[in-house]
C-alpha cells in the first residue's frame, strides 16, 4: 500500500508538465479558428430565439388544458379551411396537454441546438421552415404576417449557401440580392396594408386595443400601455395612416443605394422595436402564457440580415510582400558545392582555435 501511494505523486508530477506544454497548443488551435461571419452570427441569434421559445413552451401554463382552449379561440372569425385544422389540433392538445406540449417544447429545443451546432445547420434549417409553416397554419393570426412566417423567412435567407454570391448582405447570399429585396418588399408592404385595414373609424379603437393589452402584464409594462393609449386617444386613424406610410418607406428602402438602405434599415429596426414594446408587450413573455417573443423582435433581426456590408478593397499581395525571384537551379548547385568544400576547412580552423586556447590555459 505504501509503494502504491508513493507512485501517485510521481505520476501526477509527470503529467503536469505534459498538460502544461499541451495547453498552449489547445489555445492556439482555438484562436486559429475563423471568426463567425455576419450570416453565422444571425444563425446563432435565430438559435437563441428558438431557445427562448422552448423555454416559454416549458412554462407550467402550457401543460394545462387552458393552452388548447387559447388555441381554439384563434379559430373564430377564420374560414372553414383554416378553422377546421385549428379546432382539430386544439382538441388533441386539450385531450393530451402534457404529452403534446412536451413534444412542442422539445422540438423547439432541438431546433435551437441544431442551429447552434455548425455541422447541423443545414439539417436544422429545413425542418424549422416546415415547423414554422405548420404552426402558422394551426394557429393563424389575423392582420399582419405573424412571427412564425418571419422564422421561416429567416431560415430561408440564412441558408448556408456558397460564397460565390456577390450580395452585400447576409440575406441575399442564399437566394440572391433581388429575390431577397422582393421578399422584404412583400413583407413590409403587407404590414402597411394591414395597418390601414386595422384603422378603426372610431377614433378610440387603437386606444382601447392598447389599453386592453395591459391586463395581466407587470406594472411597468402596463404603465407603458396606459401612457401610449393616452397619447393615441382621439388620434387612432391618423396614427394608423402615419404607421402605414412609414412601413411603405421601409418596404421600398432596400432598393436604394447602400447609404440610404442603411438609414432605412435603422428606421426598420426602430419601428420593429417600438411595435415589440408598445404593440406587442414583448410578446407577453412576462405573463406566463406567452409562447414566443412575437414579430417585433424578429423584424429587427430580419433588418440586421439585410444590412449591406462595406466593400472591401483587394490589395495585391505583391504590394505588401515583395516577391524575391528564385535563383536558377545551376546557380543553387554551385553554391551548395562551394559550401560543402568550405565545411572541412571551417571545422579544421575551429579545432585549431580550440587547441590553441587549451595550450594557453595549460601554460
Residues 229-246: what's their mean pLDDT?
Answer: 88
Alpha-carbon distance of 229 to 81, in angstroms, equals 36
CA distances from 82 to 1, 88, 91, 136 (A): 77, 10, 15, 10
The pLDDT score that the predictor gives to residue 341 is 67
Tell me the pLDDT tens digit for each residue of 277-288. Answer: 998 999 999 999
Contacts of 149 (CB under 8 A, 6+ apart): 132, 133, 136
> What was the pLDDT predicted at 298?
96
Radius of gyration of the chain (CA): 33
Question: Is 55 exposed, middle or buried, given 0-12, 13-18 or 19+ CB atoms closer than 10 A?
Answer: middle
249: nearest Cα among 296, 316, 195: 195
- Computed over every residue of the chain, the mean pLDDT equals 81
- Lowest-confidence region among 7-16, 99-108, 135-144, 152-161: 7-16
**Cβ-proximal residues to 39 (8 Å cutoff; 6+ apart), any chain:** 158, 160, 170, 173, 305
Is residue 248 within 8 A of residue 190, CB to CB? The reply is no
The H or E element containing residue 89 is: helix 80-95
Q: State the pLDDT at residue 311.
A: 59
Which three cell numbers mark 190?
A: 403587407
Mean pLDDT of 238-262: 94
Map grid coordinates 409594462 to a residue: 221
Span 25-32, average pLDDT = 50
Spatial CA neighbour of 251 closest among 237, 274, 267, 275: 267
CA distance 270 to 254: 16
Q: Encode pLDDT of 41-56 as tens digits.
A: 999 999 999 999 999 9
**Residues in the chain, how many?**
363
Q: Between these two residues, 361 and 263, which has the higher pLDDT value?
A: 263
- How far is it, in rounded angstroms, from Cα 236 to Cα 227? 14
Give the chain's count of helices (H) and strands (E): 15, 0
For residues 279 and 161, the model is more confident at: 279
> What is the torsional sign of CA 296, 297, 301, 304?
positive
What is the Cα–Cα distance from 245 to 192, expressed in whole angstroms?
Answer: 7
* Among 230-234, 317-321, 336-340, the least confident range: 317-321
- CA pseudo-torsion sign 311, 312, 313, 316: negative
- DSSP per residue over 173-232, as a string? HHH-HHHHHHHHHHHHHHHHHHHHHT--SSTTHHHHHHHHTTTTS-HHHHHHHHHHHHHH
pLDDT at 320 over 50: no
Question: Residue 136: what pLDDT?
Answer: 85
Gap between the Cα atoms of 181 and 310, Å rounded: 18
Query: How distant is the alpha carbon of residue 125 from its chain centre?
Result: 12
pTM of the model: 0.76
Q: Which tens digits make up the pLDDT trace of 171-225?
A: 999 999 999 999 999 999 999 998 887 655 555 677 888 888 999 999 999 999 9
Taking alpha carbons only, the member of 205, 274, 269, 212 closest to residue 240 is: 205
Mean pLDDT of 312-316: 46
pLDDT at 67: 83
**Dist CA 233 CA 136 (whole Å):** 33
Weakest mean pLDDT among 85-89, 162-166, 278-282: 162-166
Amino acid at each position: 500500500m505504501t509503494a502504491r501511494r508513493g507512485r501517485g505523486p510521481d505520476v501526477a508530477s509527470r503529467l503536469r508538465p505534459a498538460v502544461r506544454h499541451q495547453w498552449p497548443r489547445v489555445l492556439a488551435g482555438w484562436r486559429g479558428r475563423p471568426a463567425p461571419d455576419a450570416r453565422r452570427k444571425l444563425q446563432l441569434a435565430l438559435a437563441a430565439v428558438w431557445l427562448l421559445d422552448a423555454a416559454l413552451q416549458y412554462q407550467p401554463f402550457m401543460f394545462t388544458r387552458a393552452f388548447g382552449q387559447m388555441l381554439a379561440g384563434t379559430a373564430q372569425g377564420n374560414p372553414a379551411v383554416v378553422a377546421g385544422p385549428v379546432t382539430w389540433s386544439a382538441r388533441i392538445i386539450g385531450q393530451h396537454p402534457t404529452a403534446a406540449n412536451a413534444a412542442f417544447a422539445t422540438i423547439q429545443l432541438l431546433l435551437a441546438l441544431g442551429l447552434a451546432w455548425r455541422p447541423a445547420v443545414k439539417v436544422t434549417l429545413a425542418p424549422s421552415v416546415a415547423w414554422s409553416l405548420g404552426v402558422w397554419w394551426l394557429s393563424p393570426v389575423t392582420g399582419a404576417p405573424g412571427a412564425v412566417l418571419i422564422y421561416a423567412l429567416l431560415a430561408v435567407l440564412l441558408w448556408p449557401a456558397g460564397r460565390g454570391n456577390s450580395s452585400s448582405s447576409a440575406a441575399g447570399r442564399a437566394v440572391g440580392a433581388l429575390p431577397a429585396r422582393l421578399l422584404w418588399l412583400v413583407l413590409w408592404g403587407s404590414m402597411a396594408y394591414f395597418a390601414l385595414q386595422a384603422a378603426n373609424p372610431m377614433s378610440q379603437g387603437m386606444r382601447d386595443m392598447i389599453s386592453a393589452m395591459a391586463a395581466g402584464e407587470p406594472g411597468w409594462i402596463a404603465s407603458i400601455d396606459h401612457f401610449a393609449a393616452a397619447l393615441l386617444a382621439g388620434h387612432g386613424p391618423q396614427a394608423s395612416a402615419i404607421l402605414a406610410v412609414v412601413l411603405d418607406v421601409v418596404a421600398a428602402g432596400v432598393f436604394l443605394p447602400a447609404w440610404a438602405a442603411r438609414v432605412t434599415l435603422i428606421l426598420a429596426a426602430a419601428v420593429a422595436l417600438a411595435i415589440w414594446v408598445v404593440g406587442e408587450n414583448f410578446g407577453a413573455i412576462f405573463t406566463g402564457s406567452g409562447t414566443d417573443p412575437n414579430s417585433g423582435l424578429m423584424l429587427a433581426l430580419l433588418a440586421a440580415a439585410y444590412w449591406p456590408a462595406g466593400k472591401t478593397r483587394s490589395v495585391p499581395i505583391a504590394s505588401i510582400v515583395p516577391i524575391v525571384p528564385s535563383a536558377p537551379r545551376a546557380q543553387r548547385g554551385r553554391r551548395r558545392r562551394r559550401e560543402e568544400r568550405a565545411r572541412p576547412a571551417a571545422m579544421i580552423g575551429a579545432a585549431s582555435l580550440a587547441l590553441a586556447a587549451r595550450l594557453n590555459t595549460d601554460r
